[in-house]
Amino acid sequence: MEPNASPKAAVTAIQPGTPGDGLILNPSNWSAPHLDEADQKRLKSMIEWFENRGKKALKDDDRQNHWYAEFLEMQADLGIFKSFLTPARDGEGDPERRWDTTRICEFNELSAFYGLAYWYTWQVSILGLGPIFQSENEAARKKAADELAKGSIFAFGLSERAHGADIYSTDMVLTPAGDDGAGQTYTATGGKYYIGNGNKAAMVSVFGRVDGIEGADGYAFFAASSTHSNYELVRNVVNSQSYVSQFNLNAYPVESADILHTGPAAFDAALNTVNIGKFNLGFASIGICEHAFWEAITHADSRVLYGMKVTDFPHVSQAFTDAFARLVAMKLFAYRSIDYFRTASLEDRRYLLFNPLTKMKVTTEGERVVDLLWDVIAAKGFERDMWFEMAARDIRALPKLEGTVHVNMALVLKFMGSYLFNADPDLAAPPRMQDPGDDEFLFEQGPARGLGKIRFSPWQDAFEVFADVPNVARFTELAESFKQFLVDAGPDESQQKDLDYLLTLGELFTLIPYGQLICEQAALIGLPEDTLDQIFDVLIRDFSAYAAELHGKTSSTEAQQEWARGVITKPVVDQDRFNSVWEKTRALAGGYEMRP
């Protein structure tokens, strides 16, 4: 793998000698030279808008559950949703209107840096737009594009109170009501629950089933309006700035022009929409962790206890260095996974593995980062004037949205055999995909099946680039050992049905593709080797912990226990390397603080 030398290609410009090597988002010097000038200007203007409001206003709005109308007005004035969320085919020839995953993820990180609610209204708009822009209903697509131009928001009416997001079960029933000259009409009756933006959405993509048609042939997606008299807004089901609605449709008239998908295509649209949307959660987690990191390191480094700076205590330096390594790893993995999204096609669907990993692994790592920081700053993390108080609450949400960790781990396990044993030696890792462009395939994903046929490039290739980095080399040995373990002592028939056992097995497997993309991105951006070595120090400790957990499972066999005992190991210790990374981490103190 040859790093791209173009400075425009770098996700984050590595700046040796600067705090954190410049890897942690700092709004005061944010730049994204890989974006168009117009997009940089929009996002810089958004940063200025938040900074001018100040932390007190953000905290007051959060505490009072203030609907973020001002934020929506700001993005409408800047044309952010209009430009970022309109696919090119519906953008009427405007080159700024395109579905560009790179800039979408920049917005994910920046908006969540200031507050999850600002990201959330954007996120559920993306979900609401998914079935519309996947549809061949040109009138509906045009209406959505026109509403985006006005700054409108959207909603995804999938989940229900009794069934959650189980799309095999829906009580939203469409009853045939005749023909309006252009096609079949219906009346829709039923309720939806936990639907973001359901209070103000210009269009709500609603999933249901046609009465009298059994199985997948009866599924349907249609567009509804939150202002219609037959749309009953019941309540906000959460205590938040965000409006996460419960609503009922009471004999809601569905015209033929409102139908987006019917039959199996509706089912596929639901899954493919979630594929598009859940990817964003990892980037939101990154943004939250970065803001929390600035507050925590600045507070700890300025505090003296028992005659010592807090950051001089060994357990504190270890916690901050681990938090830094985990956060940088999150960012490396997530930003490299963008390339797999943007190069995806019907022939190359590797993104379907890295997508749930971004959703699941990156968000759970976000929780661990915030917990490490919170263990240091302790009671300070509860204070009403700290942004951290919001982070400690909101970081918990992301692993639980768009499918639980367990659901996504079950999906990841479907790829384990192909990834480890059937790699295609002729398949290369994708190139950098930082240039502006429209990711049209995301709306042309086709049927959501055939996962076992997806092939991957040899995962060892990414690790071989860093074979001289001690902990990368040790981790590679563990990964090879895990592969052999599956051959010699893999799960038996009963264990393959035991999700509790499989979840731990999945955690061990997950570390391998996670490490792969970390290495790929490290090579592409020139990550200093001390930071990479420290990241794999953490991953080796995680591998050992999951091996110990597998050892303790009720159903684990003697052979499986023997393997687990054999791989529990210690990372390569290098005090000079640790000190180097810790000093880069400590240097972040005081580097950014939001205006009061």
pLDDT per position in the chain (596 positions), as tens? 333 333 333 344 566 667 877 899 999 999 999 999 999 999 999 999 999 999 999 999 999 999 999 999 999 999 999 999 999 999 999 999 999 999 999 999 999 999 999 999 999 999 999 999 999 999 999 999 999 999 999 999 999 999 888 888 899 999 999 999 999 999 999 999 999 999 999 999 999 999 999 999 999 999 999 999 999 999 999 999 999 999 999 999 999 999 999 999 999 999 999 989 999 999 999 999 999 999 999 999 998 889 889 999 999 999 999 999 999 999 999 999 999 999 999 999 999 999 999 999 999 999 999 999 999 999 999 999 999 999 999 999 999 887 677 888 888 889 999 999 999 999 999 999 999 999 999 999 878 677 888 999 999 999 999 999 999 999 999 999 999 999 999 999 999 989 999 999 999 999 999 999 999 999 999 999 999 999 999 999 999 999 999 999 999 999 999 999 999 999 999 999 999 999 999 999 999 999 98
Give the Cα separation of 522 and 516 in Å (integer). Answer: 10
Length of the chain: 596
**Distant-in-sequence, close-in-space partners of 64: CB < 8 Å, separation ≥ 6:** none
Instruction: Identify whether 216 is part of a domain.
Output: no
Give the Cα separation of 285 and 115 in Å (integer). Answer: 11
**Distant-in-sequence, close-in-space partners of 500: CB < 8 Å, separation ≥ 6:** 553
CB 270 within 8 A of CB 158: yes
Give the Cα separation of 340 and 102 in Å (integer). Answer: 11
3-state secondary structure of 271: helix
- Give all strands (DSSP E) within 394-553, no chain letters: none
Residue range of the domain that includes 505: 279-419+457-586
CB 502 within 8 A of CB 546: no
- Report which residue type is found at 125: S
Give the Cα separation of 201 and 125 in Å (integer). Answer: 8
Instruction: Identify whether 538 is part of a domain.
Output: yes
How far apart, in Å, are the Cα atoms of 194 and each of 122, 221, 289, 481? 16, 17, 25, 43
Whole-model pTM? 0.95
Give the Cα separation of 528 and 530 in Å (integer). Answer: 6
Instruction: Identify whether 577 is part of a domain.
Output: yes
**Total structural domains within the chain:** 1
Neighbouring CB atoms inside 10 A of 94's CB total: 15
Give the Cα separation of 508 and 489 in Å (integer). Answer: 14
Give the Cα separation of 405 and 446 in Å (integer). Answer: 25
Q: How far apart are the first and last CA of the chain?
A: 45
CB 555 within 8 A of CB 535: no
529-551 and 499-525 are packed helices; what angle lies between their axes, rounded to 10 degrees? 170
What burial letters (b/e) apply to 427-457, b meaning 16+ CB within 10 Å? eebbebbbeeebbebbbebeebeeeeebebb
Secondary element (H or E) of residue 397? none
Select from 203, 267, 252, 184 the least CA-distant residue to 446.
Answer: 267
Instruction: Identify whether 83 is part of a domain.
Output: no
Give me the torsion for CA of 290, 291, 293, 296, rounded to 10°: 180
What does the DSSP 8-state code read for residue 183?
S
CB 400 within 8 A of CB 284: no
How far apart, in Å, are the Cα atoms of 281 and each of 112, 118, 288, 408, 427? 10, 13, 11, 13, 28
264-278 and 280-301 are packed helices; what angle lies between their axes, rounded to 10 degrees? 20
**Half-sphere exposure of residue 230, counting CA atoms within 13 Å on the CB side?**
11
The dihedral region occupied by 408, where left means phi > 0, alpha psi between -120 and 50, and beta the remainder, is alpha
Give the Cα separation of 10 and 23 in Å (integer). Answer: 11
Strands 184-196 and 244-254: antiparallel
Give one DSSP letter per residue of 220-269, joined into a string. EEEEE-TTSTTEEEEEE-SSSSS-EEEEEEEEEEE-GGGEEEETHHHHHH
CB 289 within 8 A of CB 213: no
3-state secondary structure of 439: coil
What pLDDT score does 7 carry?
32
CATH of the domain at 568: 1.20.140.10
Select from 334, 335, 337, 348 the least CA-distant residue to 441.
Answer: 348
Instruction: Identify whether 231 is part of a domain.
Output: no
